[in-house]
Amino acid sequence: MTETTPVVLLVLALLLTGPVPALLARSRWPERVPRAALVLWQAVALAAVLSALGAGASAGTLVMTLPSPGLGLILLHGVSLLLTVVVVARLLWSAHTLGMSLRARRRRQRHVVDLVGRPDRRAPGALVVDVARPLAYCIPGVRSRVVVSAPALDELGTDETAAVLAHERAHARARHDLVLEGFGVLHDAFPRLVRSSVALRSAAGLVEMLADDAARRQCGAVPLARALARMAHAPVPAGALGTGAVTPAVRIRRLAAPSSAAADAPLGAVPAWLVAALAYAAAVALVVVPTVAVAAPWLTALSHALLP
């Protein structure tokens, strides 16, 4: 481990919280392989946290092992250590507060829809609520609820309703809420000046695409695209996942013309399976390579300091 290790890790953490997410968010290839893209986004977020933690740990070890570190080196490494402490504290606090607030909100939502919702043969397995606007959403959890409004049932055809219900059940079955909660926790772990909300927005769009794919396999692309167009401006309660949420126009275009959309995108000539394989490989490299590159020298230096 060299004197530059904490600085390199600190710079890497800052890159993975700003420029890298911005570059990835501008790419079009994630529309082709949303699952692989979501894994890559998770790897970017996790690698940013690990880099910040590694910067502080390596800084503390390096200063401790040097016989007479200079003032500049102490200050520089102190900044790295301070960032690590801040990230850990905010990570623990965010995991607690975000998880508690989301679960409390969803408990209240489930209680309300259980009281006011009613079954309807047009939406088997869902609760129908009598409100003024068409809407459909999933209240995730161990005991999830799929909710649809009476105006939505009046507006949607039978095949479109089936596609909407399949979309919401895909959210509940895959527990997409936990994926988004993890992104929320990692997002809040970094100070406001260095974090970006791009990963949160991109992850939300990708889980909607994953639910779209599940509904398309079950009900077809055309009914789902029509349903998305009709429900494009449907409100979704905070903490819930809804059909009309997150860039419905992009999702409709993806359902209507996936081949042309892929051809216009970067890597459009590359088969989707190869794009996915490259994304998975990049995700593994982001987490494993910096960890191994830092962990081995750090453990060696720490062992030499403790066991001279």
199 HSE (CA, 13 A, CB side): 29
Q: pLDDT 10s per residue in the chain (308 long)?
A: 556 677 777 788 888 887 888 889 888 899 889 999 999 999 998 888 888 777 777 766 666 666 666 676 667 667 767 777 777 888 889 888 988 999 999 999 999 999 999 999 999 999 999 999 999 999 998 889 999 999 999 999 999 999 999 999 999 999 999 999 998 888 777 767 666 688 888 999 999 999 999 999 999 999 999 999 998 888 888 888 887 666 778 888 888 865 444 445 555 577 888 999 999 999 999 988 777 766 666 666 656 655 65
Question: So what's the pLDDT on residue 268?
Answer: 56
Cα torsion angle, 202, 207, 211, 214, sign: positive
| End-to-end alpha carbon distance in the chain | 16
Distance from CA of residue 235 to its chain's centroid?
21
Question: So what's the pLDDT on residue 300?
Answer: 67
Q: Is the distance from CB of 171 to CB of 72 less than 8 angstroms?
A: no
Across-strand partners of 148? 128, 136
d(CA 298, CA 252): 49
Q: Is the distance from CB of 127 to CB of 119 less than 8 angstroms?
A: yes
d(CA 268, CA 88): 40
Q: Decide: residue 174, CB within 10 A, 0-12 exposed, 13-18 middle, 19+ buried.
A: middle
Q: Kindly list the strands in the beta sheet with 127-129, ordered across the sheet, starting from the edge strand earlier in the chain.
A: 127-129, 145-149, 136-139, 241-242
Q: What angle do CA 137, 143, 147 make, to 5 degrees?
A: 20
d(CA 54, CA 51): 5
**Phi/psi at 127 (nearest 5 deg)?**
-105, 130
d(CA 210, CA 208): 5
Task: Report CA-CA distances (Å) from 41 to 79, 106, 188, 253.
Answer: 27, 26, 16, 23
Helix axes 176-189, 71-116, angle to 10 degrees: 150
Measured over all CA atoms, what is the biggest interatomic distance in the chain, rounded to whole angstroms? 78
